[in-house]
């Protein structure tokens, strides 16, 4: 099944798979154990164009569609989900928001170095007291004429320790709800920014997650992205990209977990026959594969709608909700079929199980997506 992908899109998926096989699979276990991504790997991805995959060519990128990028994300995440999210946050959130809402000056300044990977982006939206509830964001950006004075704390910041560019959401008018929210492109070397220690996580350990605080950071006025008060609308628009990104991350994890399980079930013998000969396990694998196929269809539909510029909130939410549940279902069954070995770190399914868990949590929890979907169903 090709999900109506163009030849070019399939080709990129194949190239990404080859890169993943050569560079990601062999070190994914070590990246998890050490909880870091080698800088070299980021550099290589930059040189190959993956970090600017969806950035327009005029700004130094490859100019490809979200649908083409989806295949890359899936293949990278299949090998190392922690690396997949680095790429997704950098491309789908950071590059994309600058490209969609920035003026020419800001695009010229930031997109070319981001497209090559010289600068990595980090997306600072969530706060300790503002998770699903974005309107409660309490970071502030006070308009001082030539600059904005930024104060606040952001949490769960992916790429926090690697990034040179922070996309930061803060209230320019704290008295207004979502209309008071604005978005800024902030250089990480400005005075007053402090970056916390890497957070210890259950999975996607190769990905760098931090808390970032801002105390009286002077952000030049030209680094306001779009217009004052437009931050909420921008955040909501860009959520579609993030959800598609996590959908394909989840599909990648699930596919790898299934592949490992099929392989293991043919090799491992108990009671004088391979596990694959037991009907209960055959049916488990059938369910795993069916859910993965359904996930791919939902996710590619979402990506294609987005590329076509059509409204797709409901579809991206459905995709993210379902794909993340699939990844958890599949990874759990994969561990189960591996038995004791599945609980040990020598076997990749142990990592897939931990990695899959986050896909139901970030880029909106499953509950947040059910809110989006049901709101859309019940409108009017």
Partner 1 sequence: MLQKIHHEYREKIRAFALEKIEPLAKSIDEEQRFPTEQLKPLAEMGLMSMVIPEEYGGEPIDTISYSIAVEELSRVCGSTGITIAAHNSLGAFPILKFGNNDQKMKYLPRAARGELIAFGLTEPEAGSDAGGTKSIAIRDGDDWIINGSKCFITSASHAMATIATARTSDNPKEKDITSFILEKGWEGYSVGKKENKMGLRGSDTASLHFDDLRVSDEYLLGKIGEGFKQMLITLDGGRISIGAMALGLAQGALDCALKYAADRKQFGKPIVANQAIQHKLADMATEIEAARLMIYDCSERKDAGIRFSRYSAMCKLYASEVGRRAAHSSMEILSGIGYYTGPYPVERIWRDVKLCEIGEGTSEIQRLVIARDLLASLKKV
Binding site for partner 1 (CB under 8 A): 126, 129-133, 135-136, 155-156, 199-203, 269-272, 278, 280-281, 328, 332, 335-336, 339-340, 342-346, 350, 353-354, 357-358, 360-362, 365-367, 370
Contact 100, 145 (CB under 8 A): no
Q: How far is the CB of 30 from partner 1 (least distance, A)?
A: 13
In whole angstroms, what is the distance from residue 363 CA to residue 139 CA? 19
Give whichever of 63 and 177 is closer to partner 1, judged by the CB atom: 177
Q: How far is the CB of 91 from partner 1 (least distance, A)?
A: 22
Q: Which is nearer to partner 1, 306 or 369 (CB)?
A: 369
Helix (H) or strand (E) holding 322: helix 313-338
315 is catalytic: no
Give the list of residues 6+ apart from residue 76 with CB closer than 8 angstroms, or none.
Answer: 16, 19, 20, 24, 50, 83, 84, 87, 252
If the CB atoms of residues 140 and 332 are measured against partner 1, the closer one turns out to be: 332
Q: Count of CB atoms within 10 A of residue 47's CB?
A: 11
Give the residue with the Cβ less far from partner 1, 59 or 352.
352
Six-digit token string for 308 = 């076509």
| Tokens 């070019």, residue located | 8
Q: By C-beta, is 215 or 344 nearer to partner 1?
A: 344
CA–CA–CA angle 251, 257, 262 (5° rounding): 125
Q: Which is nearer to partner 1, 208 or 307 (CB)?
A: 208
Q: Of 18, 142, 363, 367, which is the active-site residue?
A: 363
Query: Contact at 8 Å (CB) between 97 and 238?
Result: yes
The b-or-e profile of 94-127 (16+ CB within 10 A means b, else e) is bbbbbbebbeeebbebbbbbbbbbebbbbbbbbb
Q: Could you give the CA distance from residue 39 to residue 83 in angstroms, rounded to a whole number?
A: 11
Q: Could you give the CA distance from residue 141 to residue 139 in angstroms, rounded to a whole number?
A: 7
CA distance 238 to 183: 12
**In the complex with partner 1, which residue's Cβ is closer, 51 or 257?**
257
DSSP string, 232-278: HHHHHHHHHHHHHHHHHHHHHHHHHHHHHHHHHHHH-EETTEEGGG-
Name 193's Cβ contacts closer than 8 Å, sequence gap at least 6.
Answer: 166, 186, 212, 213, 214, 217
Catalytic residues: 363
């Amino acid at each position: 099944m090709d999900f109506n992908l163009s030849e070019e899109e399939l080709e990129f998926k194949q190239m990404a798979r080859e890169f993943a096989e050569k560079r990601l699979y062999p070190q994914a276990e070590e990246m998890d154990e050490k909880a870091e991504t080698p800088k070299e790997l980021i550099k290589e991805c930059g040189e190959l164009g993956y970090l600017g995959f969806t950035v327009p060519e005029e700004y130094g990128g490859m100019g490809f569609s979200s649908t083409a990028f989806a295949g890359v994300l899936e293949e990278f995440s299949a090998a190392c989900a922690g690396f997949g999210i680095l790429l997704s946050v950098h491309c789908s959130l950071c590059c994309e928001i600058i490209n969609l809402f920035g003026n020419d000056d800001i695009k010229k300044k930031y997109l070319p170095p981001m497209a090559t990977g010289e600068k990595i982006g980090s997306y600072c939206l969530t706060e300790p007291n503002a998770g699903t509830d974005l309107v409660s964001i309490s970071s502030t950006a006070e308009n001082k004429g030539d600059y904005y004075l930024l104060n606040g704390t952001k949490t769960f910041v992916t790429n926090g320790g690697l990034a040179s560019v922070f996309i930061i959401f803060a209230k320019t008018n704290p008295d207004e709800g979502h209309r008071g929210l604005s978005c800024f492109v902030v250089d990480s070397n400005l005075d007053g920014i402090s970056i916390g220690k890497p957070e210890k996580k259950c999975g996607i350990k190769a990905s760098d997650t931090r808390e970032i605080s801002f105390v009286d950071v002077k952000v030049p006025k030209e680094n306001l992205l779009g217009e004052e008060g437009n931050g909420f609308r921008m955040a909501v628009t860009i959520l579609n990209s993030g959800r598609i990104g996590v959908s394909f991350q989840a599909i990648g994890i699930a596919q790898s977990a299934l592949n490992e399980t099929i392989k293991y079930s043919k090799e491992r013998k108990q009671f004088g026959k391979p596990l694959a000969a037991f009907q209960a396990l055959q049916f488990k694998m059938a369910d795993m594969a069916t859910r993965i196929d359904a996930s791919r269809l939902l996710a590619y539909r979402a990506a294609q709608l987005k590329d076509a510029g059509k409204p797709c909130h409901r579809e991206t939410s459905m995709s993210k909700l379902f794909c993340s549940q699939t990844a958890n279902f599949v990874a759990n069954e994969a561990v189960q079929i591996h038995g004791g070995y599945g609980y040990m770190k020598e076997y990749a399914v142990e990592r897939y199980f931990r990695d899959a868990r986050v896909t139901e949590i970030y880029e909106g929890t499953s509950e947040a997506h059910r809110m989006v979907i049901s709101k859309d169903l019940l409108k009017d």
